[in-house]
Amino acid sequence: MRQVPLAKAWIGEEEVAAVSEVVRSGWLIQGARVQEFEERFAAAVGVRHGIAVNSGSSALVVALAALGVGRDDEVICPDMSFVSTASACLFLGARPVFVDIEMRYYSLDPERLGRRITKRTRAIVPVHYAGHTAEMDAILEIAGRHGIPVLEDAAEAHLSRYRGDAFAGSLGALGIFSFTPSKPMTTGEGGMIVTDDARLAERTRMFRNFGDYGKFEWRELGFNFRMPEVMGAMGLWQLSRLQETVRRRREVAARYTAALGGHPRIIVPAERTPLDTNYQLYTTRITEAARGVGGARNRDEVMERLAERGVSTRLYYPAFHRQGVFQGHGDFAAADFPCALEYERTALSLPIYPELTLEDQEYVIENLLGALAEAQGS
């Protein structure tokens, strides 16, 4: 039986050679290659400063710390994302405040944002979910009116643009990216903070390095969030092929949309402009079939049928307000998050990566349509 994984990193011999060179050099901690990676990545997304760290999750913690987020502060974020978007502030003693998502790009809904702002709000964290840029004009306008900094969670949005113009991560006070293997580029783990603000850049560099302003001069709290040199070496090569990676992802997405977009039970991803997403994920929503004998087959049953045929799929991600880690940190009423719950019930992410073959993609499409037909007829 054919097996089609959900994601697969595109790694060449160049990365292997670069990592081997670092190991042979004996300089394994953060060094010249990480610095070059920071400079080139910042230039690629159109900002002045890049600060490399050991993960995208660490990038969120460090960026929030640079903004002065601390005990009893509040950080606003969407009710659906990867856990770090919301849990990062807990490490600083702050509290996440959730806002429901909008159902076009599945990010923080600006129409619901204003009512969640209080005198304790210290940051707003929109997420460019699946590489689709959030509705930044409205979010930035509301944040600016209240004097609250915006931290863009662009963990999945490498080279995505907003309205075909500025890059994700370059619009707020700070932006963060992740380099785990499912992302458009990888260093194994690893993350990057980007900003045009020299003061914030200096604060992030300090916080990622034990709060050290000089050799053993610890003026304030920090920790070790540095990126190892092997990650920097790998990142340089990954960055060199990032444009090609994103181009291929967009081609895969276009074929999915052409094949699935007319199906009455499949909602395909929306595009503001063709440049506004890198298709880190290709996330559909599976609507319920009309009830008949035996009842409707839901998204979970479609996933099970695909798994039986070797096609990997996943829900990215469930609603935050129902997760145990956030209980006790706020009063979350399900009625406040109808869209996040609807998304959780219907979302289905399909395999997408640069080296996905046409034959494998056709296999995914054929079996998805077959699973839906079987569910409809059962």
Residue 371 has pLDDT above 60, yes or no: yes
Is the per-residue pLDDT at 43 higher than 70?
Answer: yes
Domain 13-242 matches domain 243-377 at the CATH topology level: no
Say yes or no to pLDDT of 293 above 70: no
Whether residue 294 is predicted with pLDDT greater than 60 in this model: the reply is: no
Q: Is domain 13-242 annotated with CATH 3.40.640.10?
A: yes
Tell me the residue length of the chain.
378
Dihedral of CA atoms 32, 36, 37, 39 in degrees, nearest 10, equals 140
pLDDT at 295 over 60: no
Q: In this model, does residue 289 exceed pLDDT 60?
A: no
Domain boundaries, given as residue ranges, for the chain: 13-242, 243-377
Sheet with 347-350, strands from edge to edge, namely 266-267, 282-286, 347-350
pLDDT at position 55 over 50: yes
CA 295, CA 293: separation in Å to the nearest integer?
6
Q: Between 216 and 234, whose confidence is greater?
A: 234
CATH 3.10.129.10 is right for the domain spanning 243-377? no
| Sequence-ordered alpha helix ranges (H) in the chain | 13-25, 32-44, 56-66, 84-87, 110-113, 136-146, 198-208, 229-240, 242-260, 299-308, 338-346, 358-377
Question: Binning pLDDT at 50, 70 and 90, where does residue 290 land?
Answer: very low
Query: Which segment of 176-190, 286-300, 321-335 scores lowest on mean pLDDT?
Result: 286-300
Query: Tell me: the pLDDT tens digits for 116-133?
Result: 999 999 999 999 999 999
Residue 346 has pLDDT above 70, yes or no: yes
Judge whether residue 292 has pLDDT over 90. Answer: no
Mean pLDDT across the chain: 94
Looking at residue 296, what is its pLDDT? Answer: 37
What is residue 288's predicted lDDT score, i.e. its pLDDT? Answer: 74
Write down the pLDDT at residue 297: 55
- What's the start-to-end Cα distance of the chain, in Å? 24
Spatial distance between the Cα atoms of 250 and 126, rounded to a whole number of angstroms: 23
Rounded distance, CA 333 to CA 259, Å? Answer: 38
In degrees, rounded to 5, the angle at the alpha carbon of residue 27 between the alpha carbons of residues 24 and 30 is 135
